[in-house]
């Protein structure tokens, strides 16, 4: 029996980047919260990187999150009452300096909405919700980190043989991610090797696309989905696919910024075939090739 895993069990860490507006990130990304500690300068680092902290043997860069997303940087006086949110994301430990911590709150992630157009060009916001009748903006941590620590170009462009390319080209591939930077990485990786694909920006749209394609007699063969998404998350999407007969032949790859064995374990519980940490294009392509091999084996039985 496949177990359901829902994103309703994940909380949100609420914090302040300005004195008025509340922001949040999902608690699965958070390893620890510590008061500000003196930092060691990192030569030639990004302007938003204040320095490095050494915490229990781990040395990690600390980013002024307010400055990174376009708000006034913290002053020396504010440092005394600030906190560092330590995250494990995109294969690295990073600290985010914030003006204040509000609290951790339970959250029904189905109630998180797309950011309204009134927020303008604040591309670092991936969703909004209300907590205690106040607007809370959910930050796109992946996009923020990609600006401060740009990806190695070699990690974005997969290498494969002509035969491997021809194995993937006939397959119908669906990519699902709420993060604009993640969608761009996925697109660039497949575009660079001329592999066609479809894209959805959330789990609900992806599920409708999967059902529509199956109903039209052209089901998707490979599903690559983010785990942390407002609305229907990757765990729930995988569960729905595996428990819907007309969809269940799809090879499911959950693709997450979370660097955690827990993610892999939960991915297998809901029926996903693989769980990968973003972003290494060769790993992703070889996971797709394993999916193609499994599909071909089933077809020949």
Quick: pLDDT tens for 40-86.
Answer: 999 999 999 999 999 888 899 999 999 999 999 999 999 989 999 99
Of residues 123 and 111, the one with the higher pLDDT is 111
The structural domains of the chain, with segments of one domain joined by +, span 9-148, 153-299
- Which tens digit of pLDDT belongs to each residue from 251-283? 999 988 776 555 667 788 888 999 888 878 888
Q: What is the pLDDT of residue 6?
A: 44
Q: What is the pLDDT of residue 299?
A: 56
CATH node for 9-148: 2.40.50.180
- Which tens digit of pLDDT belongs to each residue from 153-170? 766 778 888 889 899 999
Classified as helix, coil or strand, 133 is: coil
pLDDT of residue 121 exceeding 60: no
Domains 9-148 and 153-299 share a fold: no
Contact 189, 283 (CB under 8 A): no
What is d(CA 56, CA 272) in angstroms, rounded to the nearest whole number?
34
Q: Tell me what percent of the residues of the chain surpass a pLDDT of 90.
A: 48
What is d(CA 257, CA 25) in angstroms, rounded to the nearest whole number?
13
Contact 186, 175 (CB under 8 A): yes
> Sheet of 12-16: strands edge to edge?
100-105, 12-16, 22-26, 134-139, 125-131
Q: What is the pLDDT of residue 239?
A: 94
What is d(CA 207, CA 77) in angstroms, rounded to the nearest whole number?
49
Strands 134-139 and 22-26: parallel
Contact 231, 203 (CB under 8 A): yes
Q: What is the pLDDT of residue 96?
A: 97
Tokens of 155: 């990690």
Strands 134-139 and 125-131: antiparallel
Of the candidates 280, 286, 61, the one whose C-alpha atom is nearest the C-alpha of residue 182 is 280
Superfamily of domain 153-299: Response regulator (3.40.50.2300)
């Amino acid at each position: 029996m496949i177990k359901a895993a829902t994103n309703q069990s994940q909380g949100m860490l609420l914090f302040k980047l300005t004195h008025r507006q509340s922001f949040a990130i999902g608690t699965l990304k958070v390893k620890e919260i510590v008061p500000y500690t003196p930092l060691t300068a990192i030569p030639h680092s990004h302007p938003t990187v204040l320095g490095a902290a050494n915490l229990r043997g781990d040395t990690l860069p600390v980013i002024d999150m307010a400055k990174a997303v376009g708000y006034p940087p913290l002053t020396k006086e504010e440092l005394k009452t600030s906190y560092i949110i330590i995250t494990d994301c995109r294969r690295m430990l990073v600290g985010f300096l914030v003006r204040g911590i509000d609290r951790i709150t339970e959250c029904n992630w189905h109630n998180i909405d797309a950011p309204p157009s009134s927020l303008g060009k604040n591309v670092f916001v991936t969703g909004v919700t209300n907590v205690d009748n106040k607007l809370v903006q959910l930050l796109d941590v992946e996009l923020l980190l990609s600006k401060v620590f740009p990806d190695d170009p070699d990690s974005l462009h997969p290498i494969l043989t002509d035969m491997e390319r021809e194995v993937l080209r006939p397959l119908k591939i669906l990519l699902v991610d709420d993060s604009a930077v993640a969608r761009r990485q996925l697109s660039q990786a497949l575009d660079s090797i001329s592999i066609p694909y479809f894209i959805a920006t959330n789990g609900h749209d992806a599920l409708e696309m999967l059902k529509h394609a199956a109903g039209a007699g052209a089901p998707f063969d490979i599903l690559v989905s983010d785990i942390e998404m407002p609305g229907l998350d990757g765990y729930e999407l995988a569960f729905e696919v595996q428990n819907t007969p007309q969809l269940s032949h799809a090879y499911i790859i959950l693709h997450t910024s979370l660097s955690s064995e827990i993610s892999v374990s939960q991915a297998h519980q809901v029926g996903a075939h693989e769980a990968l940490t973003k972003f290494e294009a060769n790993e992703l392509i070889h996971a797709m090739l394993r999916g193609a091999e499994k599909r071909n084996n089933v077809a020949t039985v």
